[in-house]
Amino acid sequence: MTRFLRFSFVPFGTSPTQNPLYPFARLLHFGFGGNSGFGSRNRFFSSQPKVVGSVGIFWDLDNKPPNSFPPFDAAIRLKKVAASFGIVQYMVAYANHHAFRYVPPVVREQRRERKALNQLENRRVIKPVEPYLCRVCGRKFYTNDKLINHFKEIHEREQMKRLSRLDSARGKKRIQLAATLSMKMEKYKNVAREILTPKIGYGLADELKRAGFQVHEVSNKPQAADDALRNRMVELMDLRQLECLVLVSDDYDFVDVLKEARLRCLKTVVVGDQNDGALKRCANSSFSWKEIIQGKAKKEAVTVLGRWNDHDILKRLEWTYKPEMEENKFNILESVFESEDAENKDNSFEACSDLLDEVDVQPWWKLDSDVDDIPAQPNK
């Protein structure tokens, strides 16, 4: 009996049942529960694993740009995976000047092809199957260049005017104006994104912002993005604002900050392409960039979360011997038993015997036989 009680991991006063035997009852479930087993989800776990809490995504864009994958979609998929672990409260991305101005080869190739097509259309060598439609005003054009010129001359100018009107308005008037113009401005932005070539790079920063990331450009000094990202992570850890840290990088320099996070009992997830990288070995879990993009990581995240839950339960069950604490617990236990009258004691044990009933405690001669295949012989 005392051996079991030493395992108590929930302070007596705070246990959900307020029953001093609660830890013992929990052990009965774990130890003898029908189809239990620590790894499996039995009836005492909900089918959905408990989420970790506040999640932060830290994206080292210098090291892991989305490149061939459209930045907005990449960011949304990353966010979805992170959201499997808890509530995503921080999404930050850091890179230097070059990363934002870089144009990936795939995008460069697409642009080259579009330019060649435009030239053929202008010389009337080819004709599009369907005319190009301006999705702001509905006008149709037979060449892409004409559509772009129209868009810039009419709609881009309109947008500039709206922005300057907003800039000059103040206070309540500004809020009203913003509300009036918001639909038109949003429509313009959506169409412009499709038909205009981004002014800087391939629109990495704007696309990530649209997906909800805070995007920061750092100086071009080596390690500037790493330092900024690391400081941000440590700052949020110090403020105890994080329970799960998702790092998008393959940079070995982040090993220390991951170790620090684990020391502070945070869950850590690394997204990178180096499968046996030092970062992934440090983290609680890891995904490749490909898994994120293909959507496999989202399903895997649920399994990972279940594993974390199981691990946490086992961790709480672990017995650590602390002489002073043990002595205190026995004193409390003794006083509880001494102060309760016999009737109360019966109640305590009733709760426990209910639990025993639940786990099918039968006399040994009624226990199920292991050999089910042998037909029962009638007694003569």
Sites of contact with Zn ion (CB under 5 A)? 134, 136-137, 139
Q: CA 145 to CA 133: how far, in whole Å? A: 12
C-beta of residue 77 within 8 angstroms of C-beta of residue 299: no
How many other C-beta atoms can be found within 10 angstroms of the C-beta atom of residue 323?
Answer: 7
Q: State the minimum distance, in angstroms, from the CB of residue 139 to Zn ion.
A: 5
Residue 78 or residue 136: which is nearer to Zn ion going by CB?
136
Q: State the minimum distance, in angstroms, from the CB of residue 270 to Zn ion.
A: 46
What's the sign of the alpha-carbon dihedral 206, 290, 235, 252? Answer: negative
Q: State the minimum distance, in angstroms, from the CB of residue 113 to Zn ion.
A: 24
Residue 126 or residue 137: which is nearer to Zn ion going by CB?
137
* φ, ψ at 40 (rounded to 5°): -85, 155
Q: State the minimum distance, in angstroms, from the CB of residue 252 to Zn ion.
A: 51
C-beta of residue 244 within 8 angstroms of C-beta of residue 55: yes
Helix 22-32 to helix 342-358 angle, to the nearest 10 degrees? 20
Q: CA 7 to CA 3: how far, in whole Å? A: 7
Residue 136 or residue 279: which is nearer to Zn ion going by CB?
136
Residue 111 or residue 157: which is nearer to Zn ion going by CB?
157
Residue 191 or residue 336: which is nearer to Zn ion going by CB?
191
Q: State the minimum distance, in angstroms, from the CB of residue 143 to Zn ion.
A: 15
202: left (phi over 0), alpha (psi -120 to 50) or beta: alpha
